[in-house]
Structure formats: C-alpha cells, structure tokens
C-alpha cells in the first residue's frame, strides 16, 4: 500500500490551505459538506490523524470517526427530514477510494430518490451554505 500523502486535498483542508463548509469539529475529527454531493446534506467525516484509509488508521482514531459519523447521521435525519441515511467508506482504488485520506460519507436519503453519480456536479455555494447552517443547527 502506498504511504500517506500529506498533500492530499483533505490534509490541505485540515491545515486551512483549502476552504470547506465545516459542520462539526473536535480534537480528533472534522466534518464538512461534500462540494459535489450525491444527496442533499452529503457530509464527509475525516480524522485529524494522518491516515490513508482504514488499513493504516489506529482503532482508536477510527472509533472517533465512527462516533462523529453517528452524530452527523442523527443530525442529518433531522436537518433534512431524511427517510434514511447511507454511510460509505472506501479503501484503495480497487475499493472505490479517490481521495487518499480516510473519510466516511454520510448521505441523507429520501424515499424514491437515487443518489447522484459520484463527482457528477459541483453544488451551488448558497445551497452549501444553507445546508451547513441547517446541519449545524441540528447538531446544536
């Protein structure tokens, strides 16, 4: 497995080099909206620890990511009046991973509405701002 690359986009978000629509943060994780969402409110939860994926993260650091994804899922159900939640986590190219910093996708779902294809469109800034506000309020 290749080594962790500290120049990946999520590492740059953690360092403040790239912007994000932050919805939650603690000493272990950061959660922010996906700018190319597959559903309304699609959120990414990442560890602050440098980890390429599940294969090289410590169990304790992974547990922090899972706890945060659980918290985001509950808030997203409320914020977006979701009928369900899809949580996904991909590892290595053969497993579907595209950005090589561990991340969990938390996607609110509506009955009968399919997920958009991955990276199919960039969301409007105003929509992202509004969705972040809703999710932050639901986390409150």
Catalytic residue annotation: 103
Residues 6+ apart with CB under 8 A from 119: 36, 98
Q: Is-contact 99 5, C-beta < 8 A?
A: no
CA 3 to chain centre: 22
Give the distance between the most distant pair of CA atoms in the chain.
Answer: 40
């Amino acid at each position: 497995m290749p080594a962790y690359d500290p120049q990946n986009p999520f590492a740059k978000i953690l360092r403040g080099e790239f912007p994000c629509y932050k919805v939650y943060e603690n000493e272990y994780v950061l959660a922010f909206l996906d700018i190319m969402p597959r559903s309304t409110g699609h959120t990414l939860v990442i560890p602050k620890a440098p980890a390429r994926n599940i294969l090289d993260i410590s169990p304790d650091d992974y547990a922090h990511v899972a706890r945060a994804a659980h918290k985001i899922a509950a808030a997203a159900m409320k914020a977006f009046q979701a009928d369900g939640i899809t949580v996904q986590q991909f590892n290595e190219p053969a497993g579907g991973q595209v950005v090589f910093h561990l991340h969990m996708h938390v996607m609110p779902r509506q009955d009968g509405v399919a997920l958009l294809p991955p990276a199919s469109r960039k969301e409007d800034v105003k929509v992202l701002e509004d969705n972040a506000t809703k999710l932050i309020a639901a986390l409150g």
